[in-house]
């Protein structure tokens, strides 16, 4: 770590949002420390898709390429650690890490993503990121034309029923308990020959990460080679709330067009501040937040001249 405390900006989270923000800030000649504990939600996957020029890269390759490009900008430092506490206010924030180090920064960018609540279906963790995914736009192509299953209920089930039709004609809905559907919605599924199973799931059986079947508690089995499911997500970090940042019900930071939160000097980007979970979206948000932060710093310098 370069000894440039206090930094212009501390970025909490080194995924696409934080790294993209750091790139723009580094190029704007800002001193930046990225603090990242390396536990991105997509670390279970082998490939990231849909990011132009990076389609098919593993999350690790994506970050390695980012680190390589970041080396051109000596004012950007990277620390592998978790931000544990943050105090202070605009112009003088203090971050203490789990490792016991302290960093000071004028501005903060929260890009800490979101976290999955523990998966409560036996066998799901074995297939998550290999043959079970959360978003057809990210991983539907790899599972195209295969027999698939969706694990979700209510409006989510109807949404996925319509969406998956773009990738395969053979899929079943497993609601893992009460389906939360109206009679009209059940009829709509039946009319399109989409099987609906509302029995609780006993377990998912797989071989080397490849799902083979979903076993229901009523004894029925749903054969499939891929799954899409809706995980329950929570904010990647509680620290923004400890500073008084406003959050949505979905656990996202409330931000303006340039990533600014309701707390002066605190910005948000990426999954931490949206429910549109795509790496390229996160990177774009990090970039915009960096511009917002830099504009504030430039304005402050201008005003204090
Ligand atoms: C299974 C799966 C597959 C996906 N596939 C795709 C895909 O193919 N294409 C696509 O575009 N998107 C995909 N996504 C979504 C994509 O991964 C996210 O939208 C993107 O990674 C969000 O970037 P981010 O920088 O906001 O957050 P993240 O990438 O989650 O990075 C946040 C970082 O902050 C760190 N952090 C959290 N708290 C702290 C703390 N207190 N201190 C320090 N560091 C902290 C985390 O450890 C993590 O490294 C997928 C997601 C999942 C779950």
Q: 175, 202, 229 — which closes off a domain?
A: 229
Q: Which of 12, 14, 15, 125 to mutate to test the pocket of ligand 1 (most atoms within 8 A of CB)?
A: 15
CB 112 near ligand 1, within 6 Å: yes
Same structural domain, 275 and 217: no
Q: Which of 15, 7, 63, 13 lies closest to 34 in space, CA to CA?
A: 13
Within a domain: 238: yes
pLDDT of 1: 47
For the domain that residue 139 is a member of, what is the CATH number?
Answer: 3.50.50.60
CB atoms within 10 A of CB 256: 13
Q: Indicate the pLDDT class of residue 296, thresholds 50, 70 and 90.
A: very high
Q: 175, 203, 229 — which closes off a domain?
A: 229
- Nearest ligand 1 atom to the CA of 271 is 26
Q: Specify the number of domains making up the chain.
A: 2
pLDDT of 119: 79
Same structural domain, 220 and 295: no
Within a domain: 2: no
43 CA distance to ligand 1 centroid (A)?
A: 8
Q: 229, 249, 278 — which closes off a domain?
A: 229
CB 229 near ligand 1, within 6 Å: no
Same structural domain, 239 and 217: no
114 CA distance to ligand 1 centroid (A)?
A: 7
Same structural domain, 150 and 281: no
Same structural domain, 106 and 205: no
Question: Mean pLDDT score of the chain, rounded to an integer?
Answer: 96
CA atoms within a 13 Å half-sphere pointing along the CA-CB vector of 76? 24
Give pLDDT tens digits for 45-96. 999 999 999 999 999 999 999 999 999 999 999 999 999 999 999 999 999 9
Q: Which of 53, 238, 282 to mutate to test the pocket of ligand 1 (most atoms within 8 A of CB)?
A: 282
Q: Of 58-62, 145-149, 169-173, which range is least confident?
A: 58-62
Give pLDDT tens digits for 177-222. 999 999 999 999 999 999 999 999 999 999 999 999 999 999 999 9
Q: Indicate the pLDDT class of residue 4, thresholds 50, 70 and 90.
A: low
CB 157 within 8 A of CB 150: yes
CA atoms within a 13 Å half-sphere pointing along the CA-CB vector of 178? 2
- CA torsion 27-30-35-38 (nearest 10°) is 0
Q: Which of 132, 277, 281, 289 to mutate to test the pocket of ligand 1 (most atoms within 8 A of CB)?
A: 277
Same structural domain, 197 and 159: yes
Same structural domain, 70 and 212: no
Nearest CA to ligand 1 atom 27: 113
Same structural domain, 222 and 250: no
Q: Which of 203, 152, 206, 207 lies closest to 181 in space, CA to CA?
A: 152
Within a domain: 1: no
What domain range is 147 assigned to? Answer: 124-229
Cα–Cα distance, 195 to 206 (Å, whole number): 21
Same structural domain, 137 and 112: no
Within a domain: 105: yes
């Amino acid at each position: 770590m370069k000894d440039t405390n206090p930094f212009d900006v501390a970025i909490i989270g080194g995924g696409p949002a934080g790294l993209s923000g750091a790139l723009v800030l580094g190029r704007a000649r800002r001193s930046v420390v990225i603090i990242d504990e390396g536990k991105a939600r997509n670390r279970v996957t082998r490939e990231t898709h849909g990011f132009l020029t990076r389609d098919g890269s593993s999350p690790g390759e994506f970050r390695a390429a980012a680190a390589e490009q970041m080396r051109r900008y000596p004012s950007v430092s990277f620390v592998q650690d978790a931000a544990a506490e943050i105090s202070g206010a605009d112009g003088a924030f203090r971050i203490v890490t789990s490792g016991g180090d302290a960093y000071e920064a004028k501005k903060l960018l929260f890009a800490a993503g979101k976290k999955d609540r523990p998966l409560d279906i036996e066998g799901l963790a074995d297939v998550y990121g290999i043959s079970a995914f959360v978003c057809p736009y990210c991983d539907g192509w790899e599972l195209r034309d295969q027999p698939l299953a969706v694990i979700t209920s209510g409006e989510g089930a109807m949404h996925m029923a319509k969406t998956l039709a773009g990738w395969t004609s053979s899929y079943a809905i497993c609601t893992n308990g009460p389906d939360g559907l109206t009679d009209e919605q059940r009829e709509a599924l039946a009319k399109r020959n989409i099987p609906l199973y509302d029995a609780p799931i006993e377990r998912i059986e797989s071989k080397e990460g490849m799902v083979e079947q979903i076993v229901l508690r009523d004894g029925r089995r749903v054969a499939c080679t891929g799954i899409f499911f809706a995980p329950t997500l929570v904010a990647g970090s509680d620290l923004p709330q400890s500073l008084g940042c406003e959050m949505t019900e979905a656990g996202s930071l409330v931000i303006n067009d340039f990533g600014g939160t309701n707390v002066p000097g605190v910005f948000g980007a990426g999954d931490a501040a949206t429910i549109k979970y795509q790496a390229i979206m996160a990177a774009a948000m990090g970039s915009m937040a960096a511009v917002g932060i830099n504009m504030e710093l430039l304005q402050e310098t201008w005003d204090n001249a």
